[in-house]
Amino acid sequence: MITIARRTLPALAPVAPEVVSPRTAAHLREVVRFLALHQPTLRMTNGARSRTAAHVARTAQALAPLIRLLPFPADDVTRGEYALQVNEIARLHGTAWDGDEDQDGNSPAIPSVPGFPGPRTSPEPYPAGPAPIPGARPSQAMPAPCEPCYGQGGETVISNAGRGRIRKTFVRCEVCKGKGAV
């Protein structure tokens, strides 16, 4: 008989929320502002995520904590939509971008920033219902490659040309007449 000793497992320590410095929080806000004001209707990319973070942070030391907070953009999400997503993260850390202040230093009561988040130019990224089944790929409509010649239209035959030299001769496939496809 096998006896397994019972022991008391230590209680898991609660996961501490990520501590974000005021500077990083301000950088989050700047990322939102930059993306909302610069081509918010274009598609957001991983490259734009990295470039915007680097542009805002300016130093590698400041970039590291900032890039950790920026999610990878979902497929087919616009820069403006991504900015809204980041703005929610910024809000968790005590800041957010709600449009630029006017000359007197007053934030607009109702932010009215043209193009923020920007109208979609393509359908919603997550349409309801099952994912559409992709149609036939164009390659499937192409003629099948010739089997005897593996689609090469023939084969290169090496023969002895004498005096230590070789001769390469391309022999045309008789099945496909050199076309490589049937």
66 binds Zn ion (CB under 5 A): no
Is 126 or 150 the residue whose CB approaches Zn ion more closely? 150
170 binds Zn ion (CB under 5 A): no
For the chain, report the end-to-end CA distance as a whole number of angstroms: 71
113 binds Zn ion (CB under 5 A): no
Report in angstroms the alpha-carbon separations of 77 from 82, 104, 142, 177. Answer: 7, 35, 34, 50
20 binds Zn ion (CB under 5 A): no
Stretch that binds Zn ion, among 3-11, 16-24, 59-67, 174-182 (CB under 5 A): 174-182
Which residues are registered as beta bridge partners of 172?
154
DSSP assignment string, 141-155: GSPPBPTTTTTSSEE
Q: What is the DSSP letter of 97?
A: -
Is 125 or 151 the residue whose CB approaches Zn ion more closely? 151
Total residues in contact with Zn ion, by rule CB under 5 A? 5
The binding site for Zn ion (CB under 5 A) comprises: 146, 149, 173, 175-176
